[in-house]
Amino acid sequence: MNTTTAGFVLVVVLVGALALTYGPFGDYMYRVYTGKRHLRVERGVYRLVGVDPEADQRWSTYLRSVLAFSAVGMLFLYAFLRLQHHLLLNLGFKGMEQGQAFNTAASFVTNTNWQSYSGESTLGHLVQMAGLAVQNFVSAAVGMSVAIALVRGFARKRTDQVGNFWMDLTRTCLRILLPVSIVAAVVLIAGGAIQNLHGNHDVTTLVGGSQSVTGGPVASQEAIKEFGTNGGGFYNVNSAHPFENPTSWTNWFEIYLLLAIGFSLPRTFGRMVGNTRQGLAIVAVMATLAIGSLALNAGFQLAHHGTVPTAVGAATEGTETRFGVPDSATFATATTLTSTGAVDSFHDSYTSLAGATLLLNMMLGEIAPGGTGSGLYGMLVLAIITVFVAGLMIGRTPEYLGKKIGSREIKFASLYILTTPSIALIGTAIAMALPGERAGMLNSGAHGLSEVLYAFTSAANNNGSAFAGITVNTNWYNTALGIAMLAGRFLPMVFVLGLAGSLARQQPVPVSAGTLPTQRPQFAGMLTGVAVIVVALTYFPALALGPLAEGLH
């Protein structure tokens, strides 16, 4: 079986597995977030934190809880990184420099997992386990909690309460992320991923040279890295390293893990609002965008012009030779359509137009299916924009799930839509205007701009993957990208929770002959169009100067 056929089989089996997961896993998450019973370990957590899980919170209180929890987590991780040389299992590594420590702490707390360092030569095992892996769990749980708060805004009426953040966070970690990650880690260990507390070992290579190889608790971190759409690699080459991703079937399994929550949460949404067809409409849009993106990315890699690509049947530079072009393209597409950022190939070496599709995936807001929670609330915000546009066409006050979309709601949605592009484009513009930062670019011209644009797009969208080609371990880039990650994560959450509170206060309006049916294919098509058009109008000038100019040269 050639690699193209194998890649097609991988995609078909992947789609089938996600389709089978959608109902049962979505229903399970629905029961997690709506159940009244607290587990014993959960009650212990509530007592330790000093919160009442039965006390619902207004959206502003929910937001303060999110920000306070994330701020404490960032301070703790920053101290951990700076002081690691005093900790156990440090492998002799010194504490991280303050600029890089700030960048790394911001990265993992925001579910970005951008890394301006090589993990195996920078961090000891305790920091990897108790610092980074812990944030992999809780940062993913924060995103899912905010998404559920927005769904409650649609489901509830005449109230100013959207749930309890501490209960949502605890249940997400203990009932969803932790059990699946344990099973996934065992599966990866069975597939050949390593899990130990070993330090460096000198080994003899096939050509007789010597190489130092670091062991570590890799499988456990790999599981939550993918399942929580985090993306930070234990090794510098991330999921291209055989200790993280040993075989073709573990490659498939990792892709499945990073898509499972995102494609199942719409089912949870449908159950919570009392209409599962609404969830099907949302997931249909996600699937359409994902399949279209994969077709473009794989097509640009497989059918690229040039003497060498034509001779070998594809543009293979940068792709993982163990998996081939289709499998590498599938991983790259999935990781940029979510906020994962894990890589099993080198995105900077993709063809210019294939690289453009990866950029576009992030620019879409990572909604197909997006990160854990952030993909769902991003898509729901776009759904609100869509019904608003439809309302303008027919001269009727727009409604979505029985809630009127008035000026307050559309302001929150508009601010959400504008925030991330503003951060990415302004950051790119500043970097290109500074001579010192341009000097740090390996490439000039259109590709150099693409590398900088990719970096800030990745940071602002909390993705974490990189085009590379620029020196980002500088005080300026560590600070600028760290700020972009924090603003790109928490400013949208402010608008999402404000929107949730505004919707929850409303009394649902009855369905009438003029109500737009949002569970039908027509609406799904409109929503797909709005997502693409909003991105095209916002980012097209930057794309035209970068990857499109390079690809059409």
DSSP 477-490: HHHHHHHHHHHHHH
At residue 22, the pLDDT reads 98
Average pLDDT over all residues of the chain: 92
The tokens for 465 are 């993957």
Residues paired with 214 in a beta bridge: 200
The average pLDDT across 218-223 equals 96
The average pLDDT across 373-398 equals 91
At residue 290, the pLDDT reads 96
What does the alpha-carbon distance between residue 265 and residue 340 come to, in Å, rounded to a whole number? 16
Among the residue ranges 237-251, 271-285, 298-312, the one predicted with the least confidence is: 298-312
Residue 95 has what DSSP assignment?
A: P
DSSP 45-92: HHHHHT--TT--EEHHHHHHHHHHHHHHHHHHHHHHHHTGGGSTT-TT
Residue spans per domain, the chain:
1-553
313 pLDDT band, cuts 50/70/90, is low
At residue 2, the pLDDT reads 66
What does the alpha-carbon distance between residue 37 and residue 46 come to, in Å, rounded to a whole number? 13
- pLDDT higher than 90, residue 188: yes
- pLDDT higher than 70, residue 283: yes
- pLDDT higher than 90, residue 177: yes
145 vs 447, residue with greater confidence: 145
The average pLDDT across 202-228 equals 88
Report the interhelical angle of 276-302 vs 374-394 (nearest 10°): 100
Q: pTM value?
A: 0.95
pLDDT in tens, 483-521: 999 999 999 999 999 999 999 999 998 887 778 899 999
- pLDDT higher than 80, residue 74: yes
The average pLDDT across 38-57 equals 94
The average pLDDT across 111-137 equals 94
The average pLDDT across 79-84 equals 96
E strand or H helix at 100: helix 98-109
What does the alpha-carbon distance between residue 296 and residue 337 come to, in Å, rounded to a whole number? 13
What does the alpha-carbon distance between residue 334 and residue 328 come to, in Å, rounded to a whole number? 10
At residue 183, the pLDDT reads 98
312 pLDDT band, cuts 50/70/90, is low
The average pLDDT across 298-325 equals 73
What does the alpha-carbon distance between residue 504 and residue 228 come to, in Å, rounded to a whole number? 28
Query: Of all residues in the chain, what percent are helix, strand and coil, respectively (each to 5)?
Result: 65, 5, 30
- pLDDT higher than 70, residue 341: yes
- pLDDT higher than 80, residue 394: no
What does the alpha-carbon distance between residue 247 and residue 431 come to, in Å, rounded to a whole number? 39
The percent of residues above 70 in pLDDT, for the chain, comes to 97
With the CA atoms of 389, 395, 401 and 407 taken in that order, what torsion angle do they form, in degrees rounded to the nearest 10?
Answer: 70
At residue 306, the pLDDT reads 64
pLDDT in tens, 148-161: 999 999 999 999 89
At residue 320, the pLDDT reads 78
3-state SS string for 343-370: CCCCHHHCCHHHHHHHHHHHHCCCCCCC
Q: How many CB atoms lie within 10 A of CB 197?
A: 12
pLDDT in tens, 522-539: 999 999 999 999 887 889
Among the residue ranges 177-181, 343-347, 549-553, the one predicted with the least confidence is: 549-553
